[in-house]
Amino acid sequence: MIDRHRRGSFIMIEWRQANPRVLESWYEKSGVRGSPRRVVSTDDDILKDFFPRHLVTHLAHPAVAETDEVIKRYLLAQHLYQWLNFTKAFEVGVVCRATKLIAEQDCGIEVPSRVRMDAYKILVDESYHALYSVDAVEQIQTRSGIEALPYDFQPFLDNLDRIGADHPRHRRLVQLVQVFVFETLITGLLVDIPKDPNVVSLVRQIARDHAIDEGRHHVYFADFFGRLWGQLEPGDRQVVAALLPDLIIRSLQPATRSASSALREIGFSPAAARSIIAESYDQESVTAGIRSAAERTIGILEDYGVLDQPGAREGFAESGLLDF
Ligand SMILES: [Fe+2]
Ligand SMILES: [Fe+2]
């Protein structure tokens, strides 16, 4: 799962009150500049959980709950690897792709040089997040002896980009909106993981490091979206407002493909794995989770008047993101 709902004070910088120049202190405060490489500890810390158990929904399914501890540890490890591999691929393939457009003055709107300079800082941050995600996978594989199953980001990316494919003239705009959405969602996982004392320290440390950087990115992208929205033609505003609900929902779908591979790997038949997944991630709770994770993003859209576009509020309601 990309993200889980719930707020945490240290990443909840309220963008309305925040100084949009939040990246001015980047040289002193960013993780890449100020924190050491996180390494898996040499004691028996590795015997702790690889991921908070309550966040791995399929672990609580009766058919999985009755399996032995070795199996559960394997599933936890695979869940962690999936999350880290997804993070790595998303940072590089989606966040950096759009942030580069801003940095290189190719985003279709005029932005001050400070905004472009900050985009370069974010490119560095996101590349570093990708690096320590891969580094953590490598270290944990080595120390635990549990090998990561292959991870394929392409289906997720294709699904996300399909929205832009329907609007080829707006491809660049869609990429910018993608990054705004993802960078303003409530990154609940990053908040919950550091709090769980039963989780391997390396995992908690990188989640905490990541959350602190993302708090600054949130302010930056909320501000950037205001600039973008303010300079769009009426027709383009209409397109953006119409595709946002789908974009939010696709960004937050649980990563059930990887969970299903892990279940099959431990001996469940494809049909059994399918039903465990279907019962663990039912549509109602998935939608409730997405709605909660997107609450802050939708609040920003409200503030900029995006939902006042004709049909926009109805589109959000039809997708289950708002009440009718
Ligand atoms: Fe990041
Ligand atoms: Fe970010």
Sign for the CA dihedral angle at 62, 290, 247, 223 comes to negative
Q: What distance in angstroms lies between residue 232's CA and the mean position of ligand 2's atoms?
A: 24
Contact 111, 141 (CB under 8 A): no
> Would residue 15 count as lying in a domain?
no
Flag whether 127 is in a domain. Answer: yes
Quick one: tokens of 99? 């942030």
Is there a domain that residue 7 lies in? no
Q: Judging by beta carbons within 10 Å of its beta carbon (0-12, 13-18, 19+), is residue 227 exposed, middle or buried?
A: middle
CATH of the domain at 234: 1.10.620.20
Identify the pLDDT of residue 11. 45
Please check whether residue 85 lies inside any domain of the structure: yes
CB 81 within 8 A of CB 137: yes
Q: What is the pLDDT of residue 165?
A: 80
Ligand nearest 121 Cα, by number?
2
Can you read off the two tokens belonging to residue 97?
């792709």
Count of domains forming the chain: 1
Cα 267 to ligand 1 centre (Å): 34
Does a structural domain hold residue 13?
no
Residues 175, 163 contacting (CB under 8 angstroms): no
How many Å lie between the centroid of ligand 2 and the Cα of residue 214?
5
pLDDT at 15: 63
Question: Does residue 219 fall inside a structural domain?
Answer: yes
Report the Cα–Cα distance between both ends of the chain, in Å, rounded: 27
pLDDT of 18: 74
88-to-127, 189, 269 alpha-carbon distances in Å = 8, 15, 30
Contact 148, 250 (CB under 8 A): no
Half-sphere exposure of 211 (CA within 13 A, CB side): 24
Annotate 148-170 with DSSP letters as a single string: PPP---HHHHHHHHHHHHT-GGG
Q: How many angstroms separate the alpha carbon of residue 88 from the centre of ligand 1?
A: 9
State how far the Cα of 3 lies from the Cα of 21, in Å rounded to an integer.
Answer: 26
Which contiguous run of DSSP H or E holds residue 177?
helix 171-184
Identify the bridge partners of residue 258 per DSSP, sorted by sequence position: none
Centroid of ligand 2 to alpha carbon of 213 (angstroms): 7
Write the CB contacts of 179 (distance below 8 Å, at least 6 apart in sequence). Answer: 94, 95, 97, 98, 99, 221
Cα 32 to middle of ligand 2, angstroms: 13
State the distance from the centre of ligand 1 to the C-alpha of 215, rounded, in angstroms: 10
| Dist. CA 264 → ligand 2 center (Å) | 33
Q: Which two tokens stand for residue 182?
A: 């993802």
Q: How far is the CA of 221 from the centre of ligand 2 (A)?
A: 9
Is residue 4 in some structural domain? Answer: no
Task: Say what the pLDDT of residue 1 is.
Answer: 32
Q: Can you give the pLDDT of all 324 residues of the chain as single tens digits?
A: 333 333 333 344 566 667 888 999 999 999 999 999 999 988 889 999 999 999 999 999 999 999 999 999 999 999 999 999 999 999 999 999 999 999 999 999 999 999 999 999 999 999 999 999 999 999 999 999 999 999 999 999 999 999 878 788 899 999 999 999 999 987 678 888 999 999 999 999 999 999 999 999 999 999 999 999 999 999 999 999 999 999 999 999 888 999 999 999 999 999 999 999 999 999 999 999 999 999 999 999 999 999 999 999 999 999 999 987
- pLDDT digits 0-9 by tens, 39-61: 998 888 999 999 999 999 999 99
The DSSP string of 22-80 is GGGGHHHHSHHHHSPPP---SSGGGGSBSS-GGG-GGGGSHHHHTS-HHHHHHHHHHHH
Q: Is residue 11 part of a domain?
A: no
Residue pair 50/140 in contact (Cβ under 8 Å)? The answer is yes
Domain, as residue range, for 35:
22-318
Q: How far is the CA of 129 from the centre of ligand 2 (A)?
A: 9
- Alpha carbon of 41 to ligand 2 centroid (Å): 27
pLDDT on residue 167: 80
Separation CA 267–CA 98 (nearest Å): 40
> Six-digit token pair at 174?
């869609």
Query: How many angstroms is it from 122 CA to the middle of ligand 2?
Result: 7
